[in-house]
Every structure is written in C-alpha cells, then in structure tokens.
Amino acid sequence: MNQEPLLHINDLNVTFPSPRGAVHAVQNVSFSMGKEKIGIVGESGSGKSVTGRAILRLLPPYAQVNAGAVTFKGQDLLSFTEKEMRRIRGMQISMVMQDPKYSMNPVRTVGAQICEAYTIHRKVSRKEARAKTMKMLEAVRIRNPEQVYRLYPQEVSGGMGQRIMIAMMLIPEPSLLIADEPTSALDVTVQLQVLAIMDDLVTQRGMGLIFISHDLELVSSFCDRIIIMYGGRIMETLDACDLHNSTHPYTRGLLNCLPRIKGEKGRLQTLVRDASWLESDFSIPKVG
C-alpha cells in the first residue's frame, strides 16, 4: 500500500453499561488498512459489528467508546464534532447493513432515497441527481432502472434490495465502505452476485472495504486480509491466502467444525473454547 493508511485504528475499546457491570464488547482492537478488502470475521457476540459501528460513531449514546486513535486519511475522527461526523458519514465512509428492508424508509421510493444520498452531500440539480441515480442503478446491474426507481423498499426482493443499498452507499463516492453482513440473508448464488458487484465497484473506484461476516470460508475467498475476532478481541490478523495455514487454536477450531461436501460422514469436530485466548499476553503456538 502507499505511504499513509486509509484508516488507522489504535486501541479501540467499547463498553456497554449493564446492571451486572460493564460489558466490554470490544477490547484493544488495533488495525490499519489501505485501499484493500479487509474482512472481520467472528461468531455472534465477538464485537465485529460494534467495531464497524464505532468507526462511524453509530453506537447508542450510552456506549462508552475509548480509543488511542481513529484516523481516517490523516484526520483524527475522535476530535470531530457530531456535525463534522455527518460530513464523513456517507460522503467519506459509508455502511451497508444486513437487512435492506429495515434500513430503508418504507414510505419513500428507493429512487428518491438514493437521490437523497447524493444531493445531501453535493449541490446538484434534481435532474442531475436523477440521472446519476439511474447510472448508479445500472452500475449495480439492475436491468430496468426506470421501473425500479419508483418502487418502495418492500416491493423489491432481498437481492435487489441489497443492490439498491449498495447503490445508495456508493453514490456519494466514499473512499471507504463498511459492509456489515451485507449478504447473510440471501441465497448463495444471489449472495455471490451481489458480492461480485460490490467487488467490481470497489476495485474500479479504488476504495477500501471492511467486510464484516460470520462466514470464514466466504471471507477468505473474497477479501485480501482477514481479522478474526472472538470475545471482543482480535485473535489474529492474516492474509486470506494463509488462512488454512493458521496456527491459532480458535481459527483452527472454526475451520474444523465446518461440515464439508467432500468431508467424512462421521462426527464433526467441535470447538473447545479456552479462556486463555482472551488474555492479553496470549501468543499463537508455533507448530513444529
């Protein structure tokens, strides 16, 4: 990558207060990324979504976020006011959520919502915005953009909804896209088609992508690098091609418990969790 990272996070901590003491959802998470596809993988409750939301400050007000540094293109996001953050969201960093049906406004057409995402950040005429929206809908391979423009979110299928969501998030031309389980609710073939669209657009525009998912195999085939999280901590960061050579017991455990088409019929290996993984001085055992 080039000299300055696109996004740099150092020592991110998120805690949620609860009657039984604070819940430490994210602990000492640090990573840097350039214009690449990075995957954050973990099981439910591993803190992967909270990490994604903390970058954009989209957590509820009672969440306590502490970080050594969150820098985006050299700007310190921690020092930004709420008003300044609004210039970042959408324009610079945008986020695709899991379920398009719940993340869009049900009483406005999808076209109007994509248009809004564009006009809110740019001074353009309505006609121009509409033309740009049509182009964007074509870019996400919607064959009849004129028709789709007039539909309401509940009238589109899951796969199309997610493509509309991607169009909406990419239209202000951000430099970083955070995708939080964007395809988990879709059928496998549709899932891959949506990913291919996202991949092409991200590559063409030279953007960074943070892909949050629970599917280790999918992430390893889609992303350049993988961050594996468990219990709010980063277990390990590795290049996607090295996934199968990983020696971390958690990563190995996750890989081994997947059923495989070509696998043996007998019992699947189960994951034996080890409390020592969550200790800060845990080091990956070397194979030898």
Partner 1 sequence: MLRISQLNVIFGHGASRNHAVKDVSFTVNKGESFGLVGESGSGKSTVLNCISGLISDWEGSIEIDGTVIGSRRDMSFYRKVQMVFQDPYGSLHPRHTVDKTLKEPIAIHGLGDANNRVERVLGEVGLGPQFRFRYPHQLSGGQRQRVAVARALILEPEIILLDEPTSALDVSIQAEVLNLLEDIRVERNLTYVLVSHDLAVVSHMCDTISVMSQGETVEVISREQLQNEDIKRRYTRQLLTASKGYDRAAIDQFQDF
* Residues near partner 1 (CB under 8 A): 43-44, 158, 187-193, 195-196, 199, 214, 216-218, 220-222, 253-254, 257-263, 265, 267-271
Nearest distance in Å: CB 227, partner 1: 17
Comparison of 128 and 224: residue with beta carbon closer to partner 1: 224
Give φ, ψ of 32 to 5 degrees.
-130, 145
Which residues does residue 237 pair with via DSSP β-bridges, in sequence order? 227
Shortest CB 141 distance to partner 1, Å: 11
The span from the CA of 274 to the CA of 71, in Å, is 33
Nearest C-alpha neighbor of 158 from the set 189, 136, 127 = 189
* Least separation in angstroms between CB 264 and partner 1: 9
* Closest among 247, 245, 250, 198 to 223, alpha carbons compared: 198
Structure tokens at 273: 């969790």
Query: In the bound complex, what is the minimum distance in angstroms from residue 273's beta carbon to partner 1?
Result: 8
Q: How far is the CB of 284 from partner 1 (least distance, A)?
A: 19
Considering the complex, state which of residue 133 and residue 183 has its C-beta at the smaller distance from partner 1.
Answer: 183
| Pairing state between β 23-33 and 7-16 | antiparallel
Looking at the Cβ atoms of 34 and 253, the one nearer to partner 1 is 253
Nearer to partner 1, 105 or 269 (CB): 269
Cβ–Cβ under 8 Å, residues 233 and 28: yes
Q: Are 72 and 39 in contact (CB under 8 A)?
A: no
Residue of 136, 138, 142, 133 whose CA lies nearest to 109: 133
Q: Among residues 131 and 257, whose Cβ is nearest to partner 1? A: 257
